[in-house]
């Protein structure tokens, strides 16, 4: 699919909803890998951001924010059977757009499951109802046989990391002389993870990109969507809850309905930190930001009942963003989560750094194994225009998913774990910089108790109790 693969022919229309950093970075990849004329594409977005990029490629641009009152009237004339809606937006309900695509016979993809504007932070809604768990359950309720393919959450993470996790499982199996062949279905992948004794999976990321000028007081700076990051950072922290866990968090809450593969904490993800590890950064503290893969991957690898599984790994995001973004989050917390008046999405201003994004699988015979992408800003710019290291790790999986959906048009609502991981990785690998796997003897107990006595489980390093920073 990727690299030098022949461009795929497509005769339908493409509607891009949202055109921030991800939409702008996705467009040149679409035109590179799919045979499209500019008149086959239309951009519907909420502001003027990206108008210059759209004009560069001759793409029609409409800056009308979609709302519950107008989205149907705006999109219906632009969507017919066989067309494709690519959702790169904030504050537009993914569930509403999927239902509309089913009604119109159109294909669909997004990078996360979004609510309507204000849905992440509306305090009149319970934390449970604002969770990614609840958003995922609402989207999965639209699964119906014979409907057009609608791929949920297929960016870098969620999305690419679920494919990386499968590849990592195969690598660990090979390196530990595990005799099993590559699994063919969900049950096979869950059994392989269990056989390898995978206890915990982190999506472990360290972004070292630096932009000039640096952050100033009263400003939120980020290398991808400011509003998107703040929205998910203000949601409750969420994690897939493993069958090996013995210490349920005091602020943890279980869900009464649904798959029951995950829990949430009664605190924002942007104020919850965990210990993790990446090969270049070493041991770091990351934010436990809620992401759909924490739930979907844990659910996919479950053996047995959701509320009392025989096996399930703990799965969560552990994110150390750029240093200016860390400072922005600290300032945001001090403002009691009221977003700064000045917001800056940096792309062209980035002068150095890379994004080290991968999966960290722990508990197996070799300890810990990180597998993922190291992509520098220089590499990203050379590989595709209008991208940073952070955005290209998202946009390449978006286009891989678009092509996969075009080739598999009647799969209904589907998650990344249900797709062909090797086919998707084949497309995106040329856009990931250095793809590496590294083993480590690191555990969250390393050097603990040197300065302070801590409440730890020293018999089992892979307990969430040991990862959490308190």
| 140 in the same domain as 185 | no
Task: Specify the pairing of strand 350-352 against strand 210-211.
Answer: antiparallel
| 332 in the same domain as 306 | yes
User: What's the structural domain count of the chain?
Assistant: 2
Which pair of structure tokens corresponds to residue 397? 């999986």
Task: Tell me if 410 is assigned to some domain.
Answer: no
| 236 in the same domain as 217 | yes
Q: Which of 127, 151, 175 is the last residue of a domain?
A: 151
| 323 in the same domain as 234 | yes
| 92 in the same domain as 237 | no
The pTM for the full model equals 0.97
d(CA 306, CA 251): 21
Calculate the average pLDDT of the chain. 96
Q: At what angle do helices 389-407 and 21-33 cross, to 10 degrees?
A: 50
| 112 in the same domain as 186 | no
| 248 in the same domain as 142 | no
Residues 6+ apart with CB under 8 A from 201: 165, 297, 313, 314, 315, 359, 360, 361, 362
| 202 in the same domain as 261 | yes
Question: Is the distance from CB of 425 to CB of 187 less than 8 angstroms?
Answer: no
For 27, the domain range is 8-151
pLDDT digits (tens, 9 = 90+) for 106-163: 999 999 999 998 888 787 889 999 999 999 999 999 999 899 999 999 999 999 999 9
Task: Tell me if 415 is assigned to some domain.
Answer: no
* pLDDT of 456 higher than 60: yes
What is the per-residue pLDDT for 1?
46
| 308 in the same domain as 203 | yes
| 122 in the same domain as 203 | no
Tokens 């206890």 belong to: 199
pLDDT digits (tens, 9 = 90+) for 319-361: 999 999 999 999 999 999 999 999 999 999 999 999 999 999 9
């Amino acid at each position: 699919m990727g690299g030098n693969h022949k461009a795929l022919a497509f005769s339908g229309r493409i509607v891009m909803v949202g055109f921030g950093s991800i939409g702008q970075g996705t467009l040149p990849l679409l035109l590179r890998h799919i045979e499209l004329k500019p008149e086959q594409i239309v951009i519907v977005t909420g502001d003027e951001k990206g108008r210059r990029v759209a004009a560069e490629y001759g793409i029609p641009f409409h800056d009308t924010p979609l709302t519950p009152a107008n989205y149907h009237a705006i999109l219906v004339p632009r969507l017919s059977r066989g067309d494709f809606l690519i959702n790169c937006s904030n504050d537009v309900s993914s569930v509403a757009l999927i239902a509309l695509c089913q009604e119109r016979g159109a294909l669909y993809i997004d990078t996360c499951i979004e609510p309507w504007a204000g849905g992440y932070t509306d305090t009149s809604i319970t934390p449970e109802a604002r969770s990614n768990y609840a958003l995922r359950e609402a989207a999965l309720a639209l699964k119906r046989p014979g409907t057009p393919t609608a791929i949920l959450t297929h960016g870098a993470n969620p999305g690419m990391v679920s494919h990386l996790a499968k590849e990592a499982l195969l690598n660990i199996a090979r390196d530990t002389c595990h005799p099993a062949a590559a699994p063919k279905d969900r049950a096979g992948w869950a059994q392989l993870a269990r056989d390898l004794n995978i206890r915990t999976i982190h999506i472990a990321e360290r972004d070292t990109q630096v932009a000039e000028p640096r952050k100033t007081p009263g400003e939120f700076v980020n290398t991808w969507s400011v509003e998107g990051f703040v929205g998910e950072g203000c949601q409750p922290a969420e994690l897939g809850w493993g069958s090996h866990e013995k210490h349920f968090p005091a602020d943890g809450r279980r869900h009464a309905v649904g798959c029951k593969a995950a829990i949430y904490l009664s605190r924002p993800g942007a104020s919850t930190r965990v210990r993790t590890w990446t090969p270049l950064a070493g041991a770091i503290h990351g934010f436990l930001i809620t992401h759909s893969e924490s739930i979907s991957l844990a659910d996919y690898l479950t053996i047995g009942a959701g509320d009392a599984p025989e096996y399930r790994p703990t799965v969560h995001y552990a994110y150390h963003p750029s240093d200016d973004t860390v400072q922005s989050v600290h300032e945001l917390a001090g403002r009691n989560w009221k977003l700064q008046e000045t917001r800056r999405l940096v792309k062209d201003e980035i002068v150095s750094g890379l994004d080290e994004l991968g999966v960290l699988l722990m508990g197996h015979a070799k300890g810990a194994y990180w597998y993922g992408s190291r992509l520098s800003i220089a590499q990203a710019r050379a590989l595709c225009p209008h991208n940073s290291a952070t955005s290209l790790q998202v946009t390449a999986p978006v286009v891989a998913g678009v092509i996969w959906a075009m080739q598999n048009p009647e799969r209904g609502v589907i998650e990344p774990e249900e797709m062909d991981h090797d086919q998707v990785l084949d497309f995106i690998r040329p856009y990931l910089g250095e793809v590496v796997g590294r083993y480590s003897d690191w555990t969250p107990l390393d050097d603990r108790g040197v300065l302070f006595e801590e409440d730890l489980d020293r018999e089992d390093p892979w307990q969430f109790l040991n990862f959490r920073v308190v």
